[in-house]
């Protein structure tokens, strides 16, 4: 438990867990008057937040503005003090209700210009500060344009419809869904918020009603009839491209947050470049408009890339200014200004302990800044978030009763989408401050309502793939200037804000301007499969903004060949084509296809396992104390299987599906994440539907609940063998010194503590994930026999 004490010198300290944190100065009624210099740079100052008007910026802001454009106090906007008093979105007239705030966005004054450019050209790059209104406004400015209407055209002597919808891509599901909810309300046709716990208070559309806005992300879609603006993840649009290379249903594609440079966005850019430079015959002559947006993008590189698509010979001569607005068909529009200022506060000196500095800063804000004003803190990963959440809750419980309460929300990628949406809802309890602890999934694009203060730890976990080792690493690294700017931009969206950077200004100055594109550091297996499925035979000549190394492309080709996705001459096989269409990774797609083979015949079992592992983070909560362990393990015993984690997931899914009285209570008893189980059931339903359509299931599975029947050992063996079809390269053998050595690469690997096989010695293991964190770990592990490895390498 945390305790508040006094040091001999009269200094207040809090003991949180094993940390002693000084609150010197924080708890006094009045903070020490700070010098101007201190006020702008020290984390130890505590200035009350501006409560009614945005400031015109301190000297520090001006410096910041020069440096990264984060804090540009242009407009003086009054805050909306009634925001916390009246229930939001109650008028029902979404568009009218939001019109006033939309008019105040910097983007609003550029709408005619945006329309004009796109009437004349096919490609527009929009660069505007965070919160200026790019994602929410640009599609609304365009959907009524003449070129954006659906029309009937002739293609190959057949009448087809082309256009009518705008797709706007987001790097993450949470951004796509929350933006769709917001824009659907702004446009007056609110989406059904219940479905995902959206934050709307407005009367919502029923499932079959018409609406102007929708979204489509993996395993979750809400696309009302009549949708004109569809928020999608980049991966979903790639799937659309596989089905329809001409993207006939769309009039425009908006690539948002291009600076994130995910593998998917790079692939999309390449495909769009091909569509733009093609003859439009597949679209009956109707052009596709492409709009690229970001607050922190490398405009020059993007313009060069798309300019080539229109006009090779007039590409920008090197050395020419990159700020000129027009070039060979690609227009760049720079939007000036942001709605509210964000004051940047650096740490005066390097922080020796990030967690301590984070807790100090959060409580300093909490104890000194008035309500309303929620806090968004950026941490590196799930474990860090969970331990900080615990510490905050422990300490907050000891605060005096006249201090505001706190409510902490974690926000990381592995959480179920439903749990992620919790962080976006206003806290219901009065006199309570929301504290959102997020990884970089909240870094770009999102508006978390209520946030005024951002705390940036300056680090992020970066996934890197070492193709030579076939292993991923996930290590915390310093963020880029672009990320720091994006993080600061999560404040200052509804009112003036502050961003506390837990690093010095000098550290910021030394950060890389941007992050390395994912395609240069990640596994390109999925990317190569997508290219092959789209008919790109020579992946080396596909247009990419940055080209991965030949070595990693070759490794991917070999891996795909091993999976049976491409034949010996490099062409895609029927199996590869199907794998590309499945909404799961290529190896899991291979397993699913093998499951339908009569030799394995275990489609339903494989679906259950895949549903469980793609639903979110581990379905089993970690058990903290021995006492809890003892109690819970008693219940979990019936779920654990000696064959390993995959069979344990299967048994858990089957038990959960068989439970027909109290699924929530069942999960609670076993410390199982109920949200992930619900999501797993949803994925299971969708994968079953897909396998029915693909004729991989002969008949519809019986409806739930079915009585639980444990899978016999022989069938369990078949299921694990089926997974070997996708994961034979991820196997290891027990060495005489009791370590596991991978069959491919000969590396030492340890079974992760979260596995049911942790600490056990088996002849050989197969694992789905191979990750370096503190150690070289195998996760999602199953027991296999050594001879299965050789069998798996044999041709079908």
Ligand X SMILES: Nc1ncnc2c1ncn2[C@@H]1O[C@H](COP(=O)(O)OP(=O)(O)OP(=O)(O)O)[C@@H](O)[C@H]1O
Binding site for ligand X (CB under 6 A): 105, 128, 130-137, 178, 182, 295, 339, 444-445, 447, 449, 489, 493-494
Alpha-carbon 183 to chain mean position: 19
Kindly tell me which of 44 and 260 has the beta carbon lying closer to Mg ion.
Answer: 260
Kindly tell me which of 256 and 266 has the beta carbon lying closer to ligand X.
Answer: 256
3-state secondary structure of 715: helix
Choose from Mg ion, ligand X, none: what does 499 bind? Cβ within 5-8 Å by kind: none
Kindly tell me which of 135 and 755 has the beta carbon lying closer to Mg ion.
Answer: 135
Shortest approach of Mg ion to residue 258 CB, angstroms?
11
The pair of structure tokens assigned to 64 is: 């910041």
Choose from ligand X, Mg ion, none: what does 196 bind? Cβ within 5-8 Å by kind: none
Residue list 567-606, contact with Mg ion (CB under 5 A): none
3-state secondary structure of 500: strand
Per CB under 5 A, 447 contacts Mg ion: no
In three-state form (DSSP H/G/I as H, E/B as E, the rest C), the secondary structure along 577-641 is: HHHHHCCCCHHHHHHHHHHHCCCCCCHHHHHHHHHHHHCCCCCECCCCCHHHHHHHHHHHCCCCC
CA distance 70 to 344: 8
Residue closest to 224 by CA, chosen among 238, 206, 211: 211
Shortest approach of ligand X to residue 339 CB, angstroms?
6
Alpha-carbon 330 to chain mean position: 29
Choose from Mg ion, ligand X, none: what does 449 bind? Cβ within 5-8 Å by kind: ligand X
Shortest approach of ligand X to residue 118 CB, angstroms?
18
How many residues belong to the chain?
Answer: 796
Kindly tell me which of 451 and 613 has the beta carbon lying closer to ligand X.
Answer: 451
CA dihedral over 309, 315, 318, 321, signed as positive or negative: negative
Q: Check: CB of residue 292 under 8 Å from CB of residue 125.
A: yes
Shortest approach of ligand X to residue 443 CB, angstroms?
9
CA distance 627 to 622: 13
Q: Looking at 130-138, 371-379, 433-441, 622-630, which segment touches Mg ion (CB under 5 A)?
A: 130-138
Shortest approach of Mg ion to residue 33 CB, angstroms?
39
Q: Looking at 443-451, 551-559, 571-579, 715-723, which segment touches Mg ion (CB under 5 A)?
A: 443-451
Beta pairing, strands 330-335 & 326-327: antiparallel
Shortest approach of Mg ion to residue 351 CB, angstroms?
30
Per CB under 5 A, 294 contacts Mg ion: no
Shortest approach of ligand X to residue 219 CB, angstroms?
22
Shortest approach of ligand X to residue 785 CB, angstroms?
51
Contacts (Cβ under 8 Å, ≥6 apart) of 147 = 118, 119, 163, 251, 287, 289
Per CB under 5 A, 170 contacts Mg ion: no
Q: How many helices (H) and strands (E) does the chain have?
A: 25, 27
Shortest approach of Mg ion to residue 440 CB, angstroms?
15
Kindly tell me which of 74 and 696 has the beta carbon lying closer to Mg ion.
Answer: 74
CA distance 433 to 404: 7
Shortest approach of ligand X to residue 197 CB, angstroms?
13
Q: Taking the chain, what is the end-to-end CA distance rounded to the nearest angstrom?
A: 59
Q: What share of the chain is helix, strand, coil (3-state, %, to 5)?
A: 40, 20, 40
CA distance 199 to 120: 38
Tell me the residue ranges of DSSP E strands in 270-360: 289-294, 326-327, 330-335, 342-346
Residue closest to 488 by CA, chosen among 506, 510, 508, 474: 508
Report the residue closest to Mg ion, judged by CB: 135
Choose from Mg ion, ligand X, none: what does 131 bind? Cβ within 5-8 Å by kind: ligand X
Partners of 221 in beta bridges: 216
Kindly tell me which of 240 and 494 has the beta carbon lying closer to ligand X.
Answer: 494
Kindly tell me which of 293 and 594 has the beta carbon lying closer to ligand X.
Answer: 293
Kindly tell me which of 107 and 557 has the beta carbon lying closer to ligand X.
Answer: 107
Choose from Mg ion, ligand X, none: what does 128 bind? Cβ within 5-8 Å by kind: ligand X
Kindly tell me which of 131 and 341 has the beta carbon lying closer to ligand X.
Answer: 131
Residue closest to 256 by CA, chosen among 119, 130, 134: 134
- Judged by CB under 5 A, the residue of 58, 347, 382, 445 near Mg ion is 445
Kindly tell me which of 131 and 372 has the beta carbon lying closer to ligand X.
Answer: 131
DSSP string, 654-711: HHHHH--S-HHHHHHHHTB-HHHHHHHHHHHHHHHHHHHHTT-SSSPPPPSPPPP-PP
Kindly tell me which of 458 and 489 has the beta carbon lying closer to ligand X.
Answer: 489
Rounded to whole angstroms, what are the CA distances from 89 to 97, 174, 199, 374?
Answer: 7, 21, 10, 20
Shortest approach of ligand X to residue 182 CB, angstroms?
4
Kindly tell me which of 181 and 395 has the beta carbon lying closer to ligand X.
Answer: 181
Shortest approach of ligand X to residue 251 CB, angstroms?
20
Per CB under 5 A, 135 contacts Mg ion: yes
Choose from ligand X, Mg ion, none: what does 559 bind? Cβ within 5-8 Å by kind: none
CA distance 272 to 269: 5
Choose from ligand X, Mg ion, none: what does 339 bind? Cβ within 5-8 Å by kind: ligand X
Kindly tell me which of 192 and 445 has the beta carbon lying closer to Mg ion.
Answer: 445
Choose from Mg ion, ligand X, none: what does 555 bind? Cβ within 5-8 Å by kind: none
3-state secondary structure of 217: strand
Q: Looking at 131-139, 566-574, 626-634, 678-686, which segment touches Mg ion (CB under 5 A)?
A: 131-139
Shortest approach of ligand X to residue 544 CB, angstroms?
24
Footprint of Mg ion (CB under 5 A): 134-135, 445
């Amino acid at each position: 438990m945390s305790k508040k004490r006094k040091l001999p010198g009269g200094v207040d300290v809090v003991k949180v867990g094993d940390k002693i944190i000084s609150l010197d100065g924080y708890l006094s009624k009045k903070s020490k008057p700070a010098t101007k210099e201190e006020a702008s740079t020290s984390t130890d100052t505590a200035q009350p937040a501006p409560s009614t008007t945005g400031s015109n910026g301190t000297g520090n802001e001006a410096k910041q503005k020069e440096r990264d454009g984060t804090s540009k106090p242009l407009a003086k906007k009054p805050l909306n003090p009634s925001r916390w008093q009246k229930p939001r979105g109650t008028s029902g007239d979404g568009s009218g209700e939001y019109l006033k705030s939309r008019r105040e966005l910097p983007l609003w004054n550029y709408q005619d210009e945006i329309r004009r450019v796109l009437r004349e050209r096919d490609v527009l790059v929009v660069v505007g500060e965070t919160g200026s209104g790019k994602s929410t406004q640009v599609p609304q400015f365009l959907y009524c344009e003449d070129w954006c209407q659906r029309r009937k055209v002739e293609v190959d002597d057949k009448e087809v419809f082309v256009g009518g919808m705008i797709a706007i891509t987001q790097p993450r599901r949470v951004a796509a869904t929350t933006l769709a909810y917001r824009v659907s309300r702004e446009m007056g046709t609110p989406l059904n918020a219940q479905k995902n716990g959206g934050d709307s208070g407005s009367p919502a559309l029923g499932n079959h009603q018409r609406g102007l806005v929708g979204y489509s992300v993996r395993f979750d879609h809400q696309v009302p009839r009549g949708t004109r603006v569809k928020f999608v993840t980049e991966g979903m649009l790639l799937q659309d491209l596989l089905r329809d290379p001409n993207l006939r249903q769309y009039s425009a594609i908006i690539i948002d947050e291009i600076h994130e440079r995910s593998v998917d966005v790079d692939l999309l850019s390449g495909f769009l470049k091909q569509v733009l430079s093609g003859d439009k015959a597949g679209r009956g002559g109707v052009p596709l408009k492409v709009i690229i947006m970001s607050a922190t993008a490398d405009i020059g590189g993007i313009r060069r890339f798309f300019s080539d698509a229109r006009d090779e010979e007039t590409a920008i001569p090197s050395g020419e200014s990159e700020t000129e607005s027009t070039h060979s068909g690609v227009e760049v529009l720079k939007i000036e200004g942001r709605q509210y200022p964000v004051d940047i506060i650096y740490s005066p000196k390097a922080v020796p302990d990030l967690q301590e500095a984070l807790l100090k800063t959060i409580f300093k804000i909490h104890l000194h800044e008035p309500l309303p004003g929620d806090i968004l803190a950026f941490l590196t990963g799930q474990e860090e978030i969970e331990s900080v959440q615990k510490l905050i809750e422990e300490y907050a419980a000891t605060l005096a009763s006249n201090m505001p309460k706190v409510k902490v929300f974690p926000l990381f990628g592995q959480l179920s989408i439903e749990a992620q949406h919790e962080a976006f809802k206003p806290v219901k309890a009065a006199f309570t401050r929301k504290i959102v602890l997020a990884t970089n999934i909240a870094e770009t694009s999102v508006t978390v309502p209520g946030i005024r203060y951002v705390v940036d730890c300056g680090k992020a976990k970066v996934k890197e793939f070492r193709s030579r080792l076939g292993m991923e690493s996930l290590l915390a690294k310093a963020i880029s200037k672009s990320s720091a700017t994006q993080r600061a931009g999560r404040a200052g969206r509804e009112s003036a804000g502050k961003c506390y950077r837990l690093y010095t200004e000098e550290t910021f100055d030394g950060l890389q301007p941007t992050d390395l594109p994912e395609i240069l550091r990640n596994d390109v297996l999925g990317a190569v499969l997508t290219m092959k499925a789209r008919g790109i035979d020579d992946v080396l000549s596909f247009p990419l903004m940055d080209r991965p190394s030949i070595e990693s492309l070759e490794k991917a080709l070999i891996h795909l060949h091993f999976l049976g996705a491409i034949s010996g001459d490099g062409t895609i096989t029927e199996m590869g084509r199907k794998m590309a269409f499945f909404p799961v990774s290529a190896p899991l797609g291979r397993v699913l296809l093998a499951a339908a083979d009569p030799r394995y015949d275990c489609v339903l079992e494989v679906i259950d396992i895949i549903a469980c592992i793609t639903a979110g983070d581990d379905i089993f909560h970690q058990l903290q104390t021995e006492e809890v362990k003892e109690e819970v393990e008693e219940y979990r015993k019936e779920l654990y299987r000696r064959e390993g984690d995959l069979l344990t997931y299967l048994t858990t899914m089957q038990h959960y599906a068989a439970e027909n009285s109290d699924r929530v209570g069942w999960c609670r008893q076993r410390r199982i994440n109920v949200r992930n189980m619900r999501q797993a059931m949803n994925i299971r339903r969708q994968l079953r539907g897909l396998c029915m359509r693909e004729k991989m299931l002969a008949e519809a599975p019986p409806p739930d609940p079915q009585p639980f029947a444990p899978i016999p050992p022989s069938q369990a063996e078949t299921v694990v063998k089926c997974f070997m079809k996708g994961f034979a390269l991820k196997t290891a053998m027990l060495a005489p010194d009791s370590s596991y050595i991978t069959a491919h690469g000969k590396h030492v690997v340890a079974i992760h503590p979260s596995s049911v096989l942790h600490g056990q010695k088996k002849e050989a293991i197969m694992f789905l994930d191979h990750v370096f964190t503190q150690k070289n770990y195998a996760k999602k592990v199953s027991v296999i026999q050594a001879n299965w490895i050789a069998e798996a390498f044999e041709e079908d």
